Amino acid sequence: MNEFKRHRRLRTSAAMRALVRETQLSTDDLIYPIFVIEGESIRREVPSMPGVYQVSLDNLSEEMDKLVELGIRSVLLFGIPKEKDEQGTQAYCETGIVQQALRKIKQEFPQLITIADTCLCEYTSHGHCGVIHDGDVDNDASLPLHVETAISQAKAGADIIAPSNMMDGFVAAIREGLDNAGFKHIPIMSYAVKYASAYYGPFRDAADSTPQFGDRKTYQMDPSNRMEAFREAASDMEEGADFLIVKPAMSYLDIMREVKDRFNAPLVAYNVSGEYSMVKAAAQNGWINERELVMEKLTSMKRAGADLIVTYFAKDVAKWLKEE
C-alpha cells in the first residue's frame, strides 16, 4: 500500500526535525531597542512593557554589558529628552541624548552595530513626526529637520540611520544630506512599510511620544492596504534605502513575504511593543508558554522573509538560544 506519502518519517525525533528544519533563528538576527533617557541613576521599567526599561547614560554601560554577554550585536536607539519644543530641536542637537548615547557606546563597545532611529516624535511638544502647519504635519518643511537629525547621528557614531517618520521623500532627502556631509558609507534602514497600527500603544509609554492631538493616519499607512506597501518600498529603494523595515510584523506577515519577493534588499521585521506586551501579559497570567510562543512567533517572521528582527524579546531569545 504505497498510494500515500509518509511525511512523518522526517518528524520521528528531535534530531531528525532539526536536520530538516528549513528556518533557523539566530542571535545574529536580533536587534534590541534601547530607550535612553536624560537624567541620572534612572533604570525605570515601562509599566506596559515588563522587562523593558528607560535607562540614563550612567546606567547604559551596564545594559550594554548584558547584551554583549548574550551575544547581541545590534541595538536601535530611541531618546527621551528632558525638554521638548515645536521643532523637536533635541533630535538634532549635538549634545542630544541619542547623540551622547551613540558616542558612549562607540567608545566603550566599538564592536556593536548602533542604529539610530531618526524621527522627531519623541522630541516635539506635540508628539508628531514633523513640523505642524495649520494643524497638520508639513511634509516638505519637516524633511530638512530629519536630514539634520540623521547627520548629527552619523557624526556621533551611528553605524546605520533608521528614519521612521514616513514623510514622502524622506529617504532621498536623508541620502543626499548624508552624502553631502561626508557619510556616503552610512546605510539607511528605512521604515518603508509602516502602518498606522494599534499595536504601538506601549511604545508611546516607553518613548513618551503620544500625539497631543489627532493621530498619525495622514502619514502612516492604512492597515487595509496591500499594494500601497509595495509603492512605498519601491520609492524608498529608488531613493537609496539599503534595508527595508515592515512594521508591525505579526499582523503583516503577508506583506513581509511579498516585500521580500519583490525587492532585493535585507528585510527587517519590527516585532512591536503591543505584540510584546500581549505575550508578556498572557505569560504573567499563566495562559501560555512564553518561550515556545515567542520562538514560534519570531521564527514565523524569518519564514515570511525577514533577515533581521527588531524585538524587545531579544535578550530572552538570546538566553534561550544559548540554552539550546
pLDDT tens profile 80-98: 988 888 778 788 889 999 9
Q: Which pLDDT value is given to residue 212?
A: 65
Q: Which pLDDT value is given to residue 163?
A: 93
Catalytically annotated residues? 194, 247
232 is in an annotated binding site: yes
24-323 classified as CATH 3.20.20.70: yes
The domain limits of the chain are 24-323
Across the range 195-208, mean pLDDT stands at: 79
- The number of beta carbons lying within 10 Å of the beta carbon of residue 111 is 7
The per-residue pLDDT of the chain, averaged, comes to 92
Percent of the chain predicted with pLDDT > 90? 77
129 is in an annotated binding site: yes
Task: Kindly compute the dihedral angle of the four CA atoms of residues 273, 51, 283, 47, in this order, to the nearest 10 degrees.
Answer: -70
175 is in an annotated binding site: no
Report phi then psi at 89, rounded to 5: -65, -25
The three grid cell numbers given for residue 64, joined into one nine-digit string: 550594554
Contact 74, 81 (CB under 8 A): no
Highest mean predicted confidence (pLDDT) among 166-170, 183-187, 209-213: 183-187
Q: Which pLDDT value is given to residue 164?
A: 87
Check pLDDT > 70 for residue 216: no
Check pLDDT > 90 for residue 218: no
93 is in an annotated binding site: no
Burial of 207 (0-12, 13-18, 19+ CB in 10 A): buried
Contact 263, 234 (CB under 8 A): yes
312 is in an annotated binding site: yes
Check pLDDT > 70 for residue 101: yes
Sequence-ordered list of residues with C-beta below 8 angstroms from that of 45, at least 6 positions apart, any chain? 51, 52, 53
Check pLDDT > 90 for residue 131: no
In this structure, of 108-112, 195-199, 213-217, 247-251, the range with the lowest mean pLDDT score is: 213-217
Q: Which pLDDT value is given to residue 208?
A: 61
